[in-house]
Every structure is written in structure tokens, then in C-alpha cells.
Copies of this chain bind each other. A is one copy, B any other.
Amino acid sequence: MKNSSASAATAEPARLSSVVVELSAAIAAVTDESPKILVVQPPDTAARAGLPCGPFDPTGHRTLEEGLRTSVNQQTGLALGYVEQLYTFGNQFRDPEERAGGPRPVSVGYLALVRQTEVKSSAKADWVDWYRHFPWEDARKGTPTILGSVILPRLTTWREDAKGPERLRRRDRLALAFGLEGAAWDNERVLDRYELLYEAGLVFEASFDSGQKVEPNVVAAQMVTGAALTKDHRRILATALGRLRAKIKYRPVIFELMPPTFTLFQLQRAVEALAGGPLHKQNFRRLVANEGLVEPTGHVSAQTGGRPAEIFRFRREVVHERPAPGVRVPVRVRK
């Protein structure tokens, strides 16, 4: 424990072996039935976009979460409500500056949920569709075509390129992550899938980080595997999506993303947007009603172009009544 502070006392080597703790936030919202996240465009337009983030300042920040909130506030003007820590990454060479002798970034990723598209500040921050970065994760209108046309064929090739036990390991991981060979597609395994694409060199970040030239056909594949982000931000985003998909099932976090009142169909659309697949309507409403997650406001909405929908609000009391109050996502209906 003492060693690190001791090495920090020396002059030049200290710069080389130093660590910077970076706090990054995947800030999610749901608007117009589509999941959004906030990305910031750096002033240098050639650089890749990234998540709102900033360095942890031990003198100014009493906790990591406080540091995150102030960073995000300065950068985007948003005052975050629900915030949850995701994961801490410290992999080598995810930041190009490190090769140039820069400090090793240890990045703590957070998931934040905000209601609607609260206006952002002057900063160059944009709400973009979450699936722009993960086109293979959106199965709301059937299995994404990229899966069958590009991703699975290339991953299969990558798997067969390996020899011996490594090939078996790859076969295993592929089957589990993408629901092959009898396994079921698990919508929470977003990170597993992204990591496989990264290792197989099918996302832009992979060849960028390795610093090596890539073949033209690989470049072509990278074109359709979603928009890249700076450093490991897409990885944080994958972690966030996976965690959020898991969490809506046992905590009422979906309501952090909804307006104060809503129809059950709006709620269903929001859950579908995050879960990435269509749900059985009647069962969905029965479940949310049975769980006591919502209560009627007594009003109805006429905006629907059909029979008016009853308007509901979230019942805060559920958290006291049930051990795991969440939206029980019913079976995925094939479309």
C-alpha cells in the first residue's frame, strides 16, 4: 500500500505510473418510445463522441457519486436524480494518450436515469438513440438483420479461426451470448455480446485501441456495428443497458424515466424500448396491475386514436409491499 505513494515521490517515473480516476455517466431517458442516451461531441470534431465524464477530484469531492453529479452538471447542466454505479474499468490502452506516456485511466461508469428530455445546457450534448451504438440489441421489430447478415457469420469465422481449447471457449461464449445451439437469447447479456465483437475486431474501437491496420472487409463490418465512442465509453454503455434491462424487472426504475402520469400502453412502450423486444399487451397490463405498481388517476387520455386510455401514476408504496417490485417483463412475443 505504501509502495505506490512512495513511487509517486520520484519525479519522472511518477508521471508514467500515475493513475487518474475518471467518472463517466450513461444518462438514459425514454422519449417518443425510443431509448435515448446523452453523448457529448468534443470541440475537436475529428475526435469521437463520448459520454459526459470528468476526473475525480479528491479535494473537492467527498464521494465518487458527488464527483459524478458535479461533473455532469458542469458539463451538461443536468441535475441528475437516480444514479447507480455500474462498473470500474482499468484496462490498458483504452485511452490513446496512455501510449504517449499519459496516466492510466481508471474509469468508474455510472448509470443515471432522467425524465423525458430535460433541456440540456449550451454544451454540445445530444440525445441519441441508444441502439445507434448497439443495432443488434433492438429486436422490437423482429430479429435485427445485422445479426444474421454480418455479425453471426463473422463471429463464426472468428470462432473457427482459433485452435484447440480456445476454439471451444469461443464456441461456449458465443453460444451463451447470442443464444446459439439451443441456448436462449438473454437480453441482459449486452456486455458479453459487445466484448465478443470487440475481441473479434468487429467494432471500430477494437482496431483503434490495438493501433494495428485492419483489412478492408473488417472495416466494412465495423461500419454496420453501430456508432463508436471514445475510449471505453461504449463498453460502459453496454454495461448500462444490460444493468438497466435487468433492473427494471425487480426495481421500479422504469418510473424514473416516465412522466408523472401515463397510460399503460405508454409504459409498455417504454419497457419495450429498453428491453429491446415486443411484449404481450394483455399480460403486461395484468402484471403491472397485479403487482400494484400503478394506480389510476381517474382521468383518461383521448390522444390514442382509439378507445381512450386510462391514465395511471406510479404507486410509491409498492416498494414497501413487495420484496422486488419491478415490471415483470412477460414473454417476448415473436413479431
Contacts and interface: CB of A to CB of B under 8 A. Distances in A.
Tally of this chain's copies: 2
Interface stretch (A26-34, A113-121, A178-186, A210-218): A178-186
Interface stretch (A10-18, A144-152, A199-207, A289-297): A10-18
Given A21-B19, A90-B64, A106-B106, A55 B320 contact: no
A63 B232 CA distance: 13
Interface in A174-198: 175-176, 181-184, 186
A181 B320 contact: yes
Given A64-B88, A106-B64, A320 B5 contact: no
A87 interface: yes
State which size class the interface on A falls in.
Answer: 35 or more
Interface in A45-89: 53-59, 61-64, 67, 85, 87-89
Interface string A81-102: 0000101111110000000001
Contacts of A184: 322-323
B91 A16 contact: no
A22 interface: yes
A88 B108 contact: yes
Contacts of A87: 85
A41 to B, nearest CB: 15
A5 B323 contact: no
A104 interface: yes
Contacts of A320: 172, 175-176, 181-183
A302 interface: no
A262 to B, nearest CB: 24
Contacts of A61: 90
Contacts of A17: 57-59
A304 interface: no
Nearest to A108: B88
Nearest to A5: B103
Given A17-B57, A62-B91, A182-B320, 11 more contacts: A1-B22, A1-B53, A5-B103, A8-B18, A8-B103, A17-B59, A19-B21, A21-B90, A58-B92, A85-B87, A176-B319
17 contacts: A1-B20, A1-B22, A5-B103, A8-B14, A8-B18, A16-B59, A19-B19, A56-B106, A62-B91, A62-B92, A64-B90, A64-B91, A85-B87, A85-B88, A181-B320, A183-B320, A184-B323
Interface of A: 1, 3-5, 8, 14-22, 53-59, 61-64, 67, 85, 87-92, 102-104, 106, 108, 172, 175-176, 181-184, 186, 319-324
